[in-house]
Amino acid sequence: MELKFSGEIWFWRGPAPWYFVTVPEDLGADLQAESSFVSYGWGMIPVTARIGGTEWTTSLYPKDGSYIVPVKAVVRRAESLDEGDTVDLHLTVTD
């Protein structure tokens, strides 16, 4: 399963701060239908993600009826990204 969408980078200021992009709700429903086949627990879905020329392996976290994509520091640095930037994301669900 492959998904392409645009989203804004946001910052979570919790005990372990992190940057994320939220998957649009309509695509989140598609992912949820697929999750029983690929999830390795807690609803997490393994993916290969790409922003610009940077690709990485991560997992989508379920949140508020959709999913969120963690954006690693190495990706943000490579693509000169910060909180509030809108990015084009390409996700490939892996198993």
Q: What is the pLDDT of residues 1-48, one digit of tens each?
A: 999 999 999 999 988 889 999 999 999 888 888 887 887 777 899 999
- Tell me how many domains the chain contains: 1
Q: Which amino acid is at 74?
A: V
Q: Within a domain: residue 59?
A: yes
Domain that holds residue 32: 15-83
Q: Which residue bears the tokens 């992190």?
A: 18
Q: Indicate whether 93 belongs to any domain.
A: no
Q: Is it the case that residue 66 has pLDDT exceeding 80?
A: yes
Look at residue 2 and tell me if it is in a domain. no
Does 54 fall in a domain? yes
The answer to whether the beta carbons of residues 92 and 14 sit under 8 Å apart is no
Long-range contacts of 56-60, Cβ-Cβ distance < 8 Å, separation of 24 or more: 57/94, 60/23, 60/31, 60/91
Any domain includes 48: yes
